[in-house]
Amino acid sequence: MTNRVTVAALDAWLRAFAGLVAEHEDELSRLDAAIGDADHGANMNRGLTAATAALDALAAGEPPPAAGAVLSRVGMTLISTVGGASGPLFGTFFLRMGTTLGDHETPTVETLAAALRAGLAGVVQRGKAEVGDKTMYDALAPAVEAFEAALAAGEPLAGALAAASKAADDGCTATIPLVARKGRASYLGERSVGHQDPGATTVGLFFRAALDAGIDAAAAGREAG
């Protein structure tokens, strides 16, 4: 039996992410007010509201979209609707995930892991962030690592996502004492210390959304893999 993820599950995850960002918009913008320009919550909420509408349009079409199309659509929408640094960065993350998921109707959990890894690589390629720069990377990189490690240890998808979510949350908290070295917050230098990075916080919401949406592997009987 191969554990697979359905397109419906990925769609539910993305919608849950949009819902959490809408709920936490003010908090995300408050975090950005401390070390940036107070627009991160509004940026992400605007982008993900548009992405949800794009998902509706995609779902209404025929044939039903493959996994890659769903993720790529979200990525393209973020890039085209969010002006801040986070639009291209999160947009690239989802676009790269989409490229890796490709035409699969029900990707395996291993393909999902490869997609997350490719998304992370896209963020690095675009933003050049390294460990400890106090960016979204500091939540995303440990989350991807924890996800891969949990799968390698035989955890089911839900367990691997829980591990990723915990690693992302720990990564967020770990940004608090850091000096920002990338993005707008880096202009503050030492004064960025003591504040949690907004983009990292959004990454935490992304993995929490998977848990909220109840994402787990389905032993799908479809051919695609």
Q: Which residues bind ligand ADP (CB under 6 A)?
A: 32, 36-37, 39-40, 43, 84-86, 89, 123, 127-129, 135-137, 182-184, 197-200
Q: What are the backbone dihedrals phi and psi of residue 182, each rounded to the nearest 5 degrees, phi first? A: -135, 155
Candidate residues 13, 24, 36, 151; the one interacting with Mg ion per rule CB under 5 A? 36
39 binds Mg ion, rule: CB under 5 A: yes
How many residues touch Mg ion under the rule CB under 5 A: the total is: 5
Count other Cβ atoms within 10 Å, centred on residue 45.
20
Q: Which residue is nearest to Mg ion (CB)?
A: 36
> Can you tell me the distance from the alpha carbon of 66 to that of 78, in angstroms, rounded to the nearest whole number?
19
Planar angle of CA 159, 121, 126, nearest 5 degrees? 135
Rounded Cα distance between 195 and 177, Å, is 7
How far, rounded to the nearest angstrom, does the alpha carbon of residue 100 sit from its chain's CA centroid?
Answer: 15
37 part of the interface to Mg ion, by CB under 5 A: yes
- In whole angstroms, give the CA distance from residue 94 to residue 103: 15
Q: Minimum distance from CB of 138 to Mg ion (Å)?
A: 17
Residue closer to ligand ADP, measured from CB, 124 or 158: 124
Smaller CB distance to ligand ADP: residue 209 or 215? 209
Least distance from Mg ion to the Cβ atom of residue 88, Å:
13
Span near Mg ion by CB under 5 A; candidates 31-39, 100-108, 136-144, 199-207: 31-39
| Closest of 42, 48, 47 to residue 14, by C-alpha | 48
Alpha-carbon gap, residue 191 to 213, rounded angstroms: 37
Tokens of 76: 């393209």
Residue 61: CB minimum distance to ligand ADP, A: 30
| 218 beta partners | 4
Residue with the closest Cβ to ligand ADP? 199
Select the binding partner of residue 200 from Mg ion, ligand ADP, none (C-beta < 5 to 8 A, by kind). Answer: ligand ADP
The one of Mg ion, ligand ADP, none whose footprint includes residue 96, by CB under 5 to 8 A per kind, is none
Placement of tokens 């359905």 in the chain: 6
Stretch that binds Mg ion, among 32-40, 114-122, 127-135, 161-169 (CB under 5 A): 32-40
Residues 6+ apart with CB under 8 A from 56: none
26 binds Mg ion (CB under 5 A): no
Task: Give contact residues for Mg ion (rule: CB under 5 A).
Answer: 32, 36-37, 39-40
